[in-house]
Amino acid sequence: MKPESPTERPAAVHPSVARRLAAMVYEALIVAAILLAAGLLYSLAAGGIVEGGLRLAFQAYLVAVLGLYFVWCWRRGRTLAMRAWHLRVVREDGRPLSTGQAALRFVLAALTLGTGSLGLIAVWKAPYSWGAWAAVAAGLLTVAWAWFDRDGQFLHDRLARTRLVLVKEARKPRAAA
């Protein structure tokens, strides 16, 4: 049996923006746990105090840890949060992401959603900072984009030529008692 061509594939079901945002909240909890564990390892290796040049190295290390996590998961189609919410990330033609495409998606998501998240923290501390509000706007733009996009995709997905699709999981039959 030959594989389906992209033109023969059934139309993908695109998840709602609400489902995507719920998955992002769940993902934030997972990311927090990953960053805490990675931070502990770095702190132990650095002797407990992270300041000066070590602080910049620490921040780069945390970004690299997140990059590895997301690229590794997206190459396989989904993160733990995406699995829980029945989401999968694929290329525009429906095939799995390459490592380069997953890395591009990470960079674009970090520039939009990551910047927006950091902007929210900055606004909390300095509500009159134009720079903080500009960062929040970057995050809001990628989410708002989904309401106008023909497939309901976030801006970083459109730019990376990826898309999120809703996956119907096959249920395993229950064993008779």
Which residue type occupies 19? Answer: R
- The pairing of beta strand 162-166 with beta strand 87-91: antiparallel
Position 170 confidence tier, pLDDT thresholds 50, 70, 90: low
According to DSSP, residue 9 is labeled: S
Print the SS3 string covering the chain: CCCCCCCCCCCCCCCCHHHHHHHHHHHHHHHHHHHHHHHHHHHHHCCCCCCCHHHHHHHHHHHHHHHHHHHHHHHCCCCHHHHHCCEEEEECCCCCCCHHHHHHHHHHHHHHHHHHHHHHHHHHHCCCCHHHHHHHHHHHHHHHHHHHCCCCCCHHHHHHCEEEEECCCCCCCCCCC
For 36-58, the pLDDT digits (tens) are 999 999 888 878 777 787 888 88
Q: Which pLDDT value is given to residue 95?
A: 96
Token match 């996590």: residue? 69
CA distance 64 to 35: 11
pLDDT of 4-30, one tens digit each? 444 444 457 889 989 999 999 999 999
N-to-C CA span, the chain: 39
Instruction: Please write the tens of the pLDDT for every residue from 104-152.
Output: 999 999 999 888 888 888 888 888 888 889 988 988 888 899 999 988 8
Helix (H) or strand (E) holding 105: helix 99-109
Annotated domain spans of the chain = 17-166
For the record, the structure tokens of 5 come out as 């061509």
